[in-house]
Amino acid sequence: MSCIYSLKSFNSFGLAQFCQNLVEVHTKDALKTICLPLWQQQLPLLVLGGGSNVVFTEDFHGTVVRMLTKGIQVVEAADAFYLEVEAGENWHQLVEFTLARGIFGLENMALIPGTVGAAPIQNIGAYGVEFCDVCDWVEYLDLSTGESVRLQAAECQFSYRESIFKGALRHRAVITAVGLRLAKPWQPRLGYGPLQAFTAERVTAREIFDRVCQVRTEKLPDPAVLGNAGSFFKNPLVSAACYLDLAQRFPGIVGYAQADASVKLAAGWLIEHAGLKGFALGNAAVHDKQALVLVNRGGATGRDICRLAEHVIARVQAVFGVALEAEPRIMGAHGEGDLNG
Ligand code: FAD
Ligand code: EPU
């Protein structure tokens, strides 16, 4: 069967790949009806949200299911607002929805592209708050049993850009809804750089939201203008000893101490100081304003992006001895692959 359905407008890199079947899903029943037979016949299946964290390296020889289920329910209790949100809701619109109703706690994560259903997968985070800080539970369809399962947040194995959905449940779980707990009274989170200028006693959630939107708009390229998937690499975690050694040899290196005594290095700094800011291979380039972001300058293929990523990894390894790991999911013809195929 030939691949005739374009995926170009469904991935934020704007990669011009195609798939065999493209299905929009609006209900959980439809999700089951479509996905379970494909899983049972071991046919290639890709559940897609906003396509803001994928790289298509080839045409996809299978079915792409677009999650478009909608619905937000709010229950107010004495200690918190409890939200139940369907997977196909847009994350940023959810942040705006809560803010407009005086429900606070998501403002630091404004403007993260993509769907609510994808948020638990890499435990999205920005400006000092991660999804796991507000997660109550995650509900998923287990493709291997056909059952709907609800995991409490503590069972989701959340850590920096990781969860059970990238681990033991990878490919097997389709997230259908998430439960959020937004605690009362609201406590602003002002630890991250540009937010430190605010005063905790006076700041409003709206001010944090506005500031985050402003900083993000200045720093990150708009996928509608310049294709990208946000940070292409995770910020690497190294031991304190390794960090001290690097800091001696590379004054100015940026690292953030973690609770477990490891240090999270700013990969953007490493890439810039390896001399790669603005570096291009064909139409794939390291963004000239934010070196952690790879961009499609127009007409790049997923393979071009992956070749550039491999070059970046090799240079950073050669200069600093630090291994970078790609953040987006690499999709080949029959399923998930890696940077080199
Ligand atoms: P997709 O790209 O559609 O899918 C990503 C992966 O999840 C794929 O493997 C897909 O199969 C799987 N998937 C999607 N939905 C489901 C589901 N319901 N069930 C099971 N599997 C599913 N991320 C951050 O953490 N912080 C940021 O600050 C941030 N900034 C960004 C800025 C820009 C400009 C861009 C383009 C991206 C940024 N990202 C950021 C990355 C991206 O927004 C997140 O990873 C987001 O959660 C992806 O959502 P999506 O719906 O687009 O997922
Ligand atoms: N830096 C440089 N040169 C660069 C880019 C960054 O020196 O070209 C330095 C900055 O000066 C700063 C440090 O690196 O000192 C960190 O930069 P920034 O604050 O922009 O954050 P980041 O580490 O690049 C991370 C997340 C983003 C998230 C922001 C804000 C990862 C992989 N990335 O970026 O998430 O929005 O912090 O919290 O953790 C994403 O995951 O797609 C994403 C965009």
Q: What is the CATH number of the domain that holds 201?
A: 3.30.465.10
Q: What is the pLDDT of residue 310?
A: 98
Q: Give the number of domains in the chain.
A: 3
In a domain, 339, yes or no: no
- Domain of residue 302, residue span: 233-325
Catalytic hit among 58, 162, 272, 327 = 327
Ligand 1 center from residue 264 Cα (angstroms): 21
Catalytic hit among 211, 231, 262, 329 = 231
Following CA atoms 334, 300, 225, 98 in sequence, which dihedral angle do they give, to the nearest 10 degrees?
A: 30
CB distance 110 to ligand 2 below 6 Å: no
CB distance 290 to ligand 2 below 6 Å: yes
Which of 145, 178, 212 is the last residue before a domain boundary? 212
Over the stretch 217-269, which tens digit does the pLDDT of each residue have?
A: 999 999 999 999 999 999 999 999 999 999 999 999 999 999 999 999 999 99
Which residue from 274, 269, 253 is spatially nearest to 316, judged by alpha carbons? 274
- Please state, in angstroms and rounded to a whole number, the distance separating the CA atoms of residues 155 and 135: 11
In a domain, 330, yes or no: no
- The answer to whether 99 and 56 have CB atoms below 8 angstroms apart is no
Q: How many helices (H) and strands (E) does the chain have?
A: 6, 21
Q: Same structural domain for residues 122 and 172?
A: yes
In a domain, 84, yes or no: yes
In a domain, 222, yes or no: no
What would you report as the CA-atom Rg of the chain, rounded to the nearest whole angstrom? 20
Q: How crowded is residue 334: how many other Cβ atoms within 10 Å of its Cβ? A: 12
Q: Same structural domain for residues 254 and 305?
A: yes
CATH of the domain at 16: 3.30.43.10
pTM above 0.75, yes or no: yes
- Taking phi over 0 as left and psi of -120 to 50 as alpha, with beta for the rest, 206 belongs to alpha
Q: Same structural domain for residues 294 and 192?
A: no
CATH of the domain at 263: 3.90.78.10
Q: How many residues does the chain have?
A: 341
Q: What is the pLDDT of residue 1?
A: 76
Q: What is the pLDDT of residue 279?
A: 98
Q: Same structural domain for residues 95 and 188?
A: yes
In a domain, 37, yes or no: yes
- Please state, in angstroms and rounded to a whole number, the distance separating the CA atoms of residues 332 and 326: 15
Q: Same structural domain for residues 53 and 166?
A: no
Ligand 1 center from residue 121 Cα (angstroms): 8
Tokens matching residue 270: 């490493």
Q: Is 162 helix (H, G, I), strand (E, B) or coil?
A: strand
Q: Same structural domain for residues 84 and 139?
A: yes
Low-confidence ranges of the chain (pLDDT < 50): none
